[in-house]
């Protein structure tokens, strides 16, 4: 069962066009399933048009939805970026913002449904592309987004924000957890 978690705009940003922004996640079969849903004046946002999936860097410079995933108790983590266009990126980090080699076997499956009043970005990440862990360890998540207006302004969204500038990499903001071996642990 997917639960709604409210996304918050960073206090230094202002985007009155968005009335509500929620994110959901669940494990289904061999995938982590994420949904990012915005309602409001979607026409104020610059939404890239759909195309064939491809990997590309710097998606966070435009409208982009993100998932930061770590194993509880470990410093290493992964960052996944998803564009409504189906472009994607995946990065591995050994510690706070220290990139390391990462092997991602599968492109995330990204579907986007857009109307005048809503935008739904639905993502499946293959479980084999999540960080390796021991049986009893939980995953920690930080689910975030960058929204670009038609004027080129960026706003930063997360479940919670640190003091100061937006920083999605801070581990104390990985506030959601789940354990694939214990579905009750959400």
pTM metric for this prediction? 0.94
Tokens 């290493």 belong to residue: 76
For the stretch 158-178, pLDDT in tens is 999 988 999 999 999 999 988
pLDDT at 185 over 70: no
What is the C-alpha separation between 130 and 119, in angstroms, rounded? Answer: 26
Look at 124 and 73; give whichever has higher pLDDT.
124
- Please name the fold of domain 11-178: Immunoglobulin-like (2.60.40)
If you ran DSSP here, which 8-state letter would residue 49 be given? P
For the stretch 146-155, pLDDT in tens is 999 999 999 9
pLDDT at 61 over 90: yes
Give the rounded percent of residues in the chain with a pLDDT score beyond 90.
78
What DSSP assignment string belongs to 108-137?
A: PEEEEEE-SSEEEEEEEEEGGGSPP--TTP
For the stretch 102-136, pLDDT in tens is 889 999 999 999 999 999 999 999 999 998 876 77
Work out the mean pLDDT of the chain and round it to a whole number: 92
Give residue 182's pLDDT.
Answer: 62
If you ran DSSP here, which 8-state letter would residue 43 be given? G
Torsion-angle region of 76 (φ positive above 0: left; ψ -120 to 50: alpha; else: beta): beta
């Amino acid at each position: 069962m997917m639960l709604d978690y409210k996304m918050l705009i960073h206090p230094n940003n202002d985007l009155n066009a968005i009335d509500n922004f929620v994110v959901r996640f669940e494990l289904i079969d061999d995938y982590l399933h994420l949904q990012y849903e915005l309602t409001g004046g979607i026409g104020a946002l610059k939404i890239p048009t759909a195309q064939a999936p491809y990997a590309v860097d710097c998606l966070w410079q435009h409208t982009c939805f993100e998932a930061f995933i770590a194993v509880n108790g470990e410093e290493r983590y992964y960052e996944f970026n998803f564009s409504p266009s189906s472009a994607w990126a995946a990065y591995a980090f050994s510690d706070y913002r220290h990139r390391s080699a990462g092997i991602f076997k599968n492109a995330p499956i990204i579907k986007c449904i857009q109307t005048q009043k809503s935008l739904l970005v639905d993502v499946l990440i293959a479980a084999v592309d999540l960080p390796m862990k021991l049986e009893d360890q939980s995953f920690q998540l930080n689910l975030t987004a960058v929204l670009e207006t038609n004027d080129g302004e960026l706003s930063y969204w997360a479940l919670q924000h640190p003091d100061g500038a937006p920083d999605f990499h801070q581990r104390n903001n990985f506030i959601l957890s789940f354990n694939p071996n214990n579905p009750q642990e959400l």
